[in-house]
Amino acid sequence: MNKRSFGKKNEDLAVDFLQKKGYTILQRNFYTRYGEIDIVALRDDTVVFIEVRSLSKTNFGLPQESLNKTKIKKIIKTAEYFLYKNNLTDKNIRFDVVAIFQESITHIENAFNLDFL
């Protein structure tokens, strides 16, 4: 399985997992010149920006540990643009990570916040 199909398969797993937890998926793979957000969802009155991390091996740590400072900054900038573009600047927001390794899914709510910048 190539990297792109591996990532898509795991994003599909994350979407199913989140929907079962009551999340409404607003958009997948939101791209801007700043970066990309894997999943944008709504939970209660909160817009949740979700980064899906998956690895086929743990030679270099767990999937959630592969999220670096540069990627987080790109996610935040992209989220700010999404909120502006969709007139959602008055909504509560949250940044989550869904980490997938083999068949195990770990959902980390509030993995980081706007203060990270």
Q: Convert the pLDDT of each residue in 80-97 to its tens digit.
A: 999 999 999 999 999 999
Give the closest residue to 98 by CA, choosing from 19, 35, 34: 19
Q: What is the pLDDT of residues 93-106, one digit of tens each?
A: 999 999 988 778 99
Confidence class for position 116, pLDDT limits 50, 70, 90:
low
State how far the Cα of 55 lies from the Cα of 58, in Å rounded to an integer: 7
What predicted TM-score, i.e. pTM, was given to this entire model? 0.88
Name all domains of the chain by residue range, CATH numbers in brackets: 3-116 (3.40.1350.10)
Q: Which tens digits make up the pLDDT trace of 5-63?
A: 656 788 999 999 999 999 999 999 999 999 999 999 999 999 999 999 876 555 555 55
